[in-house]
Amino acid sequence: KVLGGCRLSGEVKISGAKNAALPILAASLLTADNLVLHNVPRLSDIRTMNKLLAGLGAQVDSQDETVILNAKNLTTLEAPYDLVKTMRASILVLGPMLARYGEAKVSLPGGCAIGARPVDQHIKGLQAMGAEVYIEHGYVIAKGCLKGAHIVTDMVTVGGTENLMMAATLAEGKTVLENAAREPEVVDLANCLIAMGAKIKGAGTPVIEIEGVPSLHGAEYNILPDRIEAGSFLVAALMTQGDVTVTHVAPHTLDIVMDKLREAGGVIEFGDDWIRARIDRRPKAVNIRTVPHPGFPTDMQAQFMALNCIAEGTGRVTETIFENRFMHVPELQRLGANISVEGHTAVVTGVERLSGANLMATDLRASASLVMAALVASGTSVVDRIYHLDRGYDHMELKLSQLGAKIERIS
């Protein structure tokens, strides 16, 4: 429940990156030793991954933001539908299990709210590495001893790159991944794997080379800060004409987001691990086109759309990664936003004021955009189904209250 009209100001500590933590948790399956992870965000998606790993027989000891994992004795190599259907990133256990045990059975994730999201590229890559992979009763079943291969994915896929990179660490010989995703979370996973003894070169570029090793060992690793959480608070700062500093961040993972915030009229400063965003007037609308990293991230699209809703002028928001990622549009319209959708582009003309309403969250980033729009809408808004928000934001309502928002979680 949000009472709009407050200006956000102050400092907020950003948590570890969900999208780096998820594959890194899955990487624990690659070794019989302990993997000790720090700065793991407290999110429901992380709890789901921990539950999945524990269900496979791994020991998972989670305390605050530290998780200690040990996958020495797995009891099953099957990731069941019940867990996978709640979180598509569960597919990330496929590559590691197959690489270490020579077999794996993982429920096929199916579609999700933002689009079809197939995993054909993960499968194609594992087949190229010599695995026999087929689909039976809704499960991906993979078997075989992996060998290094030259793999070119049809499109840039973050999860595909991560799954194949993990699988290749224990394959026999050298694997080259071309058209690889360059996201900072891919680099973070590679750095953790390297700390575990993997031989990986080129992570962060479109070509990653992995020289397989017979086994990986344990490691202690700090998860990268969450650039999407940080970006969301910075956008909220401009929307409320506020002054917010996000701390414990990696500023260079947010270069393009900072550029867009400047374009919107924000004064943006940053140091080694902080970014400050402020503005003392209404922001200006910006044009956005989502593309793979280092371009503008699809996970920030909904939040910038919310900014455009109350900005001066008109902004065009084009989504090129997911085919159905405008589900926040009808909800923003309920607040009085002026948005028209033409195919993959939403044309948003800013209005001077939004007015509070009851809203329904539809997916993770959409839910953040609704909360942010509610912060600037007059009167009270209630955002329902915030379990979507809890998947990817660590106590967002507490962090926003700290910055002066009038927001509370109601049951």
Lay out the site mask for ligand UD1 across 300-339 (x = CB under 6 A, - = otherwise): ---------------------xx-----------------
Candidates 157-165, 166-174, 194-202, 326-334: pick the segment binding ligand UD1 (CB under 6 A). Answer: 157-165
Which one of the listed residues 6, 112, 145, 192 is annotated catalytic? Answer: 112
Cα separation, 145 vs 205, whole angstroms: 27
**207 is a site residue for ligand UD1 (CB under 6 A):** no
* Catalytic site includes residue 112: yes
How many residues of this chain bind ligand UD1 (CB under 6 A)? 23
Position closest to ligand UD1 via CB: 159
Number of neighbours of residue 73 by Cβ within 10 angstroms: 9
Q: Which of 160, 184, 231, 242 binds ligand UD1 (CB under 6 A)?
A: 160
Cα separation, 333 vs 339, whole angstroms: 7
In the structure encoding, which two tokens stand for residue 113, read together?
């709210």
Q: How far is the CB of 375 from ligand UD1 (least distance, A)?
A: 23
Name the β-bridge partners of 284. Answer: 312
Decide whether 194 or 291 has the Cβ nearer to ligand UD1: 291
**19 is a site residue for ligand UD1 (CB under 6 A):** yes
**138 is a site residue for ligand UD1 (CB under 6 A):** no
Collapse the DSSP code of 376 into the 3-class scheme (helix H, G, I; strand E, B; otherwise coil) and give the result. helix
**248 is a site residue for ligand UD1 (CB under 6 A):** no
DSSP string, 207-262: EEEEE--S-B--EEEEPPB-HHHHHHHHHHHHHTT-EEEEES--GGGGHHHHHHHH
Candidates 27-35, 78-86, 94-102, 150-158: pick the segment binding ligand UD1 (CB under 6 A). Answer: 150-158
Q: E strand or H helix at 167, and its extent?
A: helix 158-169
In angstroms and rounded to an integer, the radius of gyration of the C-alpha atoms of the chain is 21
Cα separation, 83 vs 146, whole angstroms: 26
Ranges of H-type helices in 335-386: 364-376
Number of neighbours of residue 116 by Cβ within 10 angstroms: 10
Decide whether 156 or 310 has the Cβ nearer to ligand UD1: 156
Cα separation, 71 vs 69, whole angstroms: 7
**22 is a site residue for ligand UD1 (CB under 6 A):** yes
The amino acid at 113: A
Number of neighbours of residue 205 by Cβ within 10 angstroms: 11
Q: How far is the CB of 29 from ligand UD1 (least distance, A)?
A: 16
Q: Which of 298, 303, 308, 381 binds ligand UD1 (CB under 6 A)?
A: 298
In the structure encoding, which two tokens stand for residue 6, read together?
């407050």
Q: Which of 299, 319, 331, 394 binds ligand UD1 (CB under 6 A)?
A: 299
Collapse the DSSP code of 264 into the 3-class scheme (helix H, G, I; strand E, B; otherwise coil) and give the result. coil
Integer CA distances (angstroms), 205 to 129, 178, 186, 195, 372, in order: 21, 9, 10, 19, 34
Judged by CB under 6 A, the chain residues 54 through 93 that form the site for ligand UD1 are 88-89
Collapse the DSSP code of 397 into the 3-class scheme (helix H, G, I; strand E, B; otherwise coil) and give the result. helix
Q: How far is the CB of 350 from ligand UD1 (least distance, A)?
A: 25
Q: How far is the CB of 160 from ligand UD1 (least distance, A)?
A: 5
Q: How far is the CB of 59 from ligand UD1 (least distance, A)?
A: 23
Q: Which of 157, 169, 191, 362 binds ligand UD1 (CB under 6 A)?
A: 157
The structure tokens 């936003």 sit at 337
Q: Residue 63: CB partners within 8 Å, gap ≥ 6? A: none
Ranges of H-type helices in 92-157: 94-101, 120-128
In the structure encoding, which two tokens stand for residue 66, read together?
């530290």
Kindly state the DSSP code that residue 18 receives in the 8-state scheme. H
**118 is a site residue for ligand UD1 (CB under 6 A):** yes
Lay out the site mask for ligand UD1 across 170-199 (x = CB under 6 A, - = otherwise): -----------x---x--------------
Collapse the DSSP code of 139 into the 3-class scheme (helix H, G, I; strand E, B; otherwise coil) and give the result. strand
Candidates 1-9, 113-121, 169-177, 198-206: pick the segment binding ligand UD1 (CB under 6 A). Answer: 113-121
Candidates 114-122, 195-203, 216-224, 372-380: pick the segment binding ligand UD1 (CB under 6 A). Answer: 114-122
Q: How far is the CB of 349 from ligand UD1 (least distance, A)?
A: 26
**219 is a site residue for ligand UD1 (CB under 6 A):** no
Candidates 61-69, 117-125, 302-310, 352-360: pick the segment binding ligand UD1 (CB under 6 A). Answer: 117-125
Cα separation, 372 vs 6, whole angstroms: 11
Catalytic residues: 112
- What is the contact surface with ligand UD1 in residues (CB under 6 A)? 19, 22, 88-89, 115-122, 155, 157-160, 181, 185, 298-299, 321-322
